Structure 1
Amino acid sequence: MHSTCMQNLFVAGTDTTLIMVEWAMAELIRHPDTLKQAQEELDTIVGRERLISESHLPRLTFLSAVIKDTFRLHPSTPLLLLRMATEECETAGYRIPKGTELLVNVWGIAHDPALWPDSLEFRPAWFLPGGSHADVDVKGGDFGLIPFGAGRRICAGLSRGIRMVAVTTATLVHSFNWELPAGQTPDMEGTFSLLLQLAVPLMVHPVPRLLPSAYQIA
């Protein structure tokens, strides 16, 4: 059952939730110390005798930071859908005529070195208590990180999307250790289109790490 589940999970297709989970797992596997820290937090909050539930999420501070930096580093929608300027305006020294169609470069904003030094590095510590971006969220209130957009046109599925990515990633991190095929490392090259996906799907082997009873379905 586990191998079939993992195969279905990582064939991400065009589903943005699965794309984000795949990016999060790729980053964690690339950074074993970060993965270990996430697992230690989950073992403390959840234990090894049961699976994670959505009710645990508010207490998973480190996991939340991991998810935030995944959304920053690898936004599944790098360009927001077309907007139209309803009035003439000026921004950053550019005159925008009324009726101009505009794209918001979410990826560019989240990699702006003025906001995010070493912006290409995976750094969840930014979002931890005491970190430089501890109060930043991904819900459209902080314009330096808007993977779901902002304002009236913000993604309607924002809350559900964040929860699904967090729960799925936490379940995988908590339930299994992860092994790459011998001699391989995750290929972090992405493909840019309407969606930002891993160019080469992540291939890993899950190894159960919880008590056997935790995997039993009632």
Structure 2
Amino acid sequence: MEFIDLLLLFVTLFLAIIWFKYWSVTGGGQKNLPPGPPGWPIVGNLIQVVLQRRNFMYVVRDLRTKYGPIFTMQMGQRTLIIVTSSDLIHEALVQKGPIFASRPADSPTRLLFSVGKCAINSAEYGPLWRTLRRNFVTELINPARIRQCSWIREWAMDIHLKRLEKGALETGSVEVMSNCRLTICSVLICVCFGARISEARIKEIEAVLKDVMLMTAPKLPDFLPIFTPLFRKQLKEAKELRRKQMQCLVPLVRSRRVFVQGGRCEESNIGGDMEMVSPIGAAYIDSLFGLEPAGRGRLGEEELVTLCSEVINAGTDTSATTVEWALLHLVLDQNIQQKLYEEIVNSVGKKGSITEENVESMKYLGAVVKETFRRHPPSHFVLSHAATKETELGGYTIPAHANVEFYTAWLTEDPSLWKDPGEFWPERFLEGDGVGVDVTGAKGVKMMPFGVGRRICPAMTLGTLHVYLLLAKMVQAFKWVPIKDSPPDPTETFAFTVVMKTPLRAVILPR
């Protein structure tokens, strides 16, 4: 036998031993795991998924039909428990909330960007997560703080409407997604850092943070960590992107710290293209400067950049995606758009200013947004969960620390929960099967655009407010119609959130 053959045999046996050891620790076939597709040695179902050349959400959709509401996939060294039904999701995340409230182990790439899980979304269930989340809720999304920052939204959305009008004059139509992302990103940068910066700089930050989201999406080393050394180039690229992220945001951190330490309570132009416009205590980062989470101590610039990036990333994509999908249906169905416009005019007039209080009282606007969340959830999964201890769900064993993935898109497609689920019908939330639906999932789960239970998105009220305001202002100012001979394409694809494969462009006609 040739030396190379002996070497390959040795490597194969070595990997098989490691695999068997891991398989026995995580449960494997000897425990009562949910059923699932048979896998290959060592790699499990990983190669089978890769060879399909489809996004994972479509693979899961097909497997749910075959294996039922809960099934297992062995993806390399990770055991994935896929949960798809309303009852099981409610049981896990609400009734057994503390058990399913943690996060699984992260890859070296994600640990790099989260500074060792020092982020609200990625932190394991425990003291660090509680401290970060409590601070976020208290300092950023309490009603008084939201009212205090209303001028930021008004400023950014006035610019938004002018930019749309200018774009329409120059090209004859406007792209929805890019404009909405830019506006929401500018709002969240100002909310986080108390600074008003140039559009060019906002675009730079937006682009870098978008790359961060794509870089941290699941990749092969997540499922086969033993092969991580073979992906040194990928880790090197991640470190370079992290350097760019720090380069973009550290100046904002330092400028705000100088502003706070100087005790200046009025707006201050500190040079360049940055102006401090929020009073001390009004910016999210102000609350982080003195925060000392258990086990971490005083937060450094790495952690501050990570926590602010988390807010900007999560809030920008989900809100912009929702507005794009909502406008798609308003363009395709002018009757829905006209009903919404009439409600806006009846509430504030044709040229009246639209405030937070106004949109919260607009019932048809609320129905349009809820139907958009139902028909087009920002993601087909919530972020991965992990059980803090071995437990039972649906009569099956869930190993501790295994990835538990909640496939939430099926909730919105389930004909036992919704009448004509494929139809976009806002009235269902006024007089149909959507009346009384609780998006927090406390009483039952029919839709969960923000997750449910202990790890529900803490900024869901703020994100929804941004969608309300953008949609209302854009419909009040313009009539949205299709481009002649170029109808919008509703085909979806995945880019952190589920977006339109061909970004929506439409003609806008001033009202």
TM-score for both structures, normalised by structure 1: 0.86
Give yes or no for contact 2:389–2:399 (8 Å, CA) kept in 1. yes
Q: How does 1:64-79 map to 2 (within 5 A)?
A: 64-79=366-381
For the residues of structure 2 that align with 1:4 and 1:156, how far apart are their CA atoms? 34
Give the direction of change, closer, same or farther, for the CA distance of 1:85–1:184 in structure 2 (3 Å limit).
same
Q: Confirm whether residue 178 of structure 1 aligns to residue 480 of structure 2.
A: yes
For the residues of structure 1 that align with 2:176 and 2:500, how far apart are their CA atoms? 14
Give the C-alpha shift of residue 28 in structure 1: 1.3
Q: Confirm whether residue 156 of structure 1 aligns to residue 319 of structure 2.
A: no
Q: 2:439 aligns with which of 138, 149, 168?
A: 138
Residue matched to 2:340: 38
Q: For residues 103-135 of structure 1, give each alpha carbon's deviation from its aligned partner in whole angstroms, at most 9, with x where no partner exists.
A: 11121222222111321111111111x322211
Q: For residues 35-67 of structure 1, give each alpha carbon's deviation from its aligned partner in whole angstroms, at most 9, with x where no partner exists.
A: 111111111111113132211023210110000
What secondary structure is seen at the aligned counterpart in 1 of 2:406? Answer: coil
Residue matched to 1:80: 382
Query: Any unmatched runs of 5+ in structure 1?
Result: 210-218
Residue matched to 1:123: 425
Give the direction of change, closer, same or farther, for the CA distance of 1:78–1:10 in structure 2 (3 Å limit).
same
Give the C-alpha shift of residue 180 in structure 1: 1.8
For the residues of structure 1 that align with 2:358 and 2:341, how far apart are their CA atoms? 14
For the residues of structure 1 that align with 2:437 and 2:481, how far apart are their CA atoms? 32
For the residues of structure 1 that align with 2:433 and 2:446, how far apart are their CA atoms? 13
Residue matched to 1:3: 166
Task: Indicate the structure with greater helix content.
Answer: 2
Count of residues paired in the alignment: 208
Q: For residues 77-101 of structure 1, give each alpha carbon's deviation from its aligned partner in whole angstroms, at most 9, with x where no partner exists.
A: 2211110122334434543233321
Partner AA of 1:186 in structure 2: P
TM-score for both structures, normalised by structure 2: 0.39
Partner AA of 1:48 in structure 2: K
- Percent of paired sites with the same residue: 33
Give the C-alpha shift of residue 193 in structure 1: 5.0
Q: After the TM superposition, which parts of structure 1 deviate over 6 Å for at least 4 consecutive aligned residues?
A: none
Partner AA of 1:147 in structure 2: P
What secondary structure is seen at the aligned counterpart in 2 of 1:168? Answer: helix
Give the C-alpha shift of residue 139 in structure 1: 3.4
Residue matched to 1:27: 329
What secondary structure is seen at the aligned counterpart in 2 of 1:166? Answer: helix
Partner AA of 1:132 in structure 2: D
Residue matched to 1:212: none
**Structure number with higher relative contact order (C-alpha < 8 Å, ≥ 6 residues apart):** 1
Q: 1:99 aligns with which of 394, 401, 409?
A: 401
Q: For residues 134-159 of structure 1, give each alpha carbon's deviation from its aligned partner in whole angstroms, at most 9, with x where no partner exists.
A: 11143343411111001111112111
What secondary structure is seen at the aligned counterpart in 1 of 2:409? Answer: helix
Q: Which moved more, 1:11-20 or 1:107-116?
A: 11-20
For the residues of structure 2 that align with 1:79 and 1:193, how far apart are their CA atoms? 13
- Which has the greater radius of gyration? 2
Give yes or no for contact 1:72–1:145 (8 Å, CA) kept in 2. yes
Partner AA of 1:16 in structure 2: T
